Structure 1
Amino acid sequence: MNEVSAWRPRLLNGHWFSQLPLSLQDSLLQAARLQRLAAGECLFQRGEPPSGLYAVVEGAMRIGAVSEQGKEALLALVEAPHWFGEIALFDGQPRTHDAYAEVACTLVWVPQPALTALLAEHPPYWRDFALLMTQKLRLMFVVLEQQSLMAAAPRVASRLLMIAQGYGEIDGSRRVLQLGQEQLALMLSLSRQTTNQILKDLQQQGVLRLGYGEIEILDMAQLAACVAAESSAKIAPRSP
């Protein structure tokens, strides 16, 4: 067993990899190598050429961008066992965002040449990579809709649920999220003050416990109810 194959059980915890044909799983692991990053280290930056596909098996990657004025947009913290980097596989264009290690990370990396050779030999595998990309596209539409229609508090609750559920990539839910309040505010394009107040309100209601650099969900059902109440209000019939 090589050092990449040793991470197979961790990758199998993710829906996408676990549902791949066994032959494709094997091909990816055979072509892959491990890459380790220190906290704050850059993996790639916006505008760089495609370098392949990555999976987080330890730690978390920060995906986002910084404007010329220094304003940061944080799209996601990518944690195990998520794969990322597939957009550039399809169009061969430069990277769309920056990727930095939020904490010390271990990544499974499948280089671009190995991927293109694999897909040239087995064209049906394109569908499997398309499913990885469309899964994220669906989430993006949900997030855009929420940003347009939801008030701040249910948006915070919804994003916490998404993160706890691994954005649909894992079974079950995590109770403790390694997520700072500032990071959450950046993800939602809310002020830190607004985000902090919403989280404190949820803590007072017994829904959350706030710690240093982490948020523990104490009542998952009540957190979901915050989102459901907002959704119900949006579709409630109007009075004549």
Structure 2
Amino acid sequence: MPTWPRTSFLGQLSDDTRDAVLRLGTRRRHSAGETIIQEGAPSSYAVILLTGLYKVVGLTEDGREALLAVRIGGDLVGELGLADGEPRIATVRAASAADVIRIGERDYRAMLDTYSDANKAVSKAMADKLRSASRRRVEFATCPTPVRVARVLQELAEAHGVRRGSEILVGVTLTQTELAALVGTTGPTIHRVLGEMRANGILATGYRNIRVLDEEGLDELARM
């Protein structure tokens, strides 16, 4: 059985509750690129992500997709739509081979009524997403782009990083366009900022991968 991060939905549950929750719903396996939740669709189920990497994307006013967040195994998605009954506000798509549990609304509500730690974990997941969105809006309005880039990379490295000696491989495959969407800037600007961070020895970049070479340098930039 996978080991999930302590801060994830599954990671916060007691062993007994987790075992019970994992018996709910229907297990599904998805290939990279498959859609788990579709923006605009009715909200009739939640999804527990068991393994894999997922990208949360939303449509901009001109019809382009913008990357909003990254999710991993252990996380819960789709809970907001079940909370307010409104259509999905974003698309969740597998970025790698992925296993999930799809839980219908009736079983989902029964889970919340039966297991207090699951109810608490769902509330925390929604609060964390709200805090993250609010913090990001403030940063967009007040922080220079290099600081926003550093903070996003900090978050990605903390949640998805793989330490290799003195380096941290940011274990999320992102294009520079996708990273720009997370930061709230343009492709040319993200290209320039990453170039500056490379020149200062903070990062090394390759095809769809980023390695943090100087953790303290990244932290210092994020605090500015």
* TM-score, structure 2 normalization: 0.85
| 1:2-42 deviation per Cα after TM superposition (whole angstroms, max 9, x unaligned) | xxxx3xx4235544433323443222111144322222222
Q: Is the 8 A contact 2:17 2:115 kept in 1?
A: no
Residue number among 51, 69, 77 corresponding to 1:84 in the alignment: 77
Which residue in 2 is equivalent to 1:56?
49
Whether the 8 Å CA contact 1:28–1:110 is kept in 2: the answer is: no
Residue 155 of structure 1 corresponds to which residue in structure 2?
148
Task: Name the counterpart of 2:222.
Answer: 227
2:176 alignment partner in structure 1: 181
**Cα-to-partner distance string for 1:172-215 (whole Å, 9 max, x where unaligned):** 99921222222101212211110011011111111111011110
CA change 1:153–1:98 in 2 (3 A) is same
Q: 1:164 to 1:81 in 2, by over 3 A?
A: farther
Q: Which moved more, 1:18-27 or 1:151-160?
A: 18-27
Structure 1 contact 54–85 (Cα < 8 Å) conserved: yes
In the alignment, which residue of structure 2 is the partner of 1:44? 37
Question: For 1:145, which of 126, 131, 138 is the aligned residue?
Answer: 138
In the alignment, structure 1 residue 118 sits paired with structure 2 residue 74 = no
Amino acid of the residue matched to residue 39 of structure 1? A
- The CA deviation at 1:159 is 0.4
Greater strand fraction, Structure 1 or Structure 2: 2
Highest CA radius of gyration, 1 or 2? 1
Instruction: Indicate the SS of the match to 1:165.
Output: helix
CA distance in 1, matches of 2:151, 2:60: 27
Do 1:209 and 1:216's aligned partners in 2 also have CA atoms closer than 8 Å? yes
Q: Hey, which of these two has a bigger chunk of helix by percent?
A: 1
Point out where structure 2 has 5 or more consecutive residues left out of the alignment: none
Tell me how many residue pairs correspond in the alignment. Answer: 220
Q: Distance in 2 between matches of 1:85 and 1:62?
A: 13
Q: Is the 8 A contact 1:10 1:57 kept in 2?
A: no
Using the TM superposition, name which of 51-60 and 205-214 deviates more: 51-60
Change beyond 3 A, Cα 1:43–1:155: same
In structure 2, distance between residues paired with 1:57 and 1:124: 18
Scaled by the length of structure 1, what TM-score is found? 0.80
1:65-80 equivalences in 2 (<5 Å): 65-67=58-60, 69-80=62-73
More deviation, 129-138/100-109: 100-109
Paired position in structure 2 for 1:235: none
- Unaligned 5+ runs, structure 1: 1-5, 231-240
Aligned with residue 210 of structure 1, among 205, 211, 216: 205
CA contact (8 A) 1:180 1:215 kept: no
Which residue does 1:201 correspond to in 2?
196
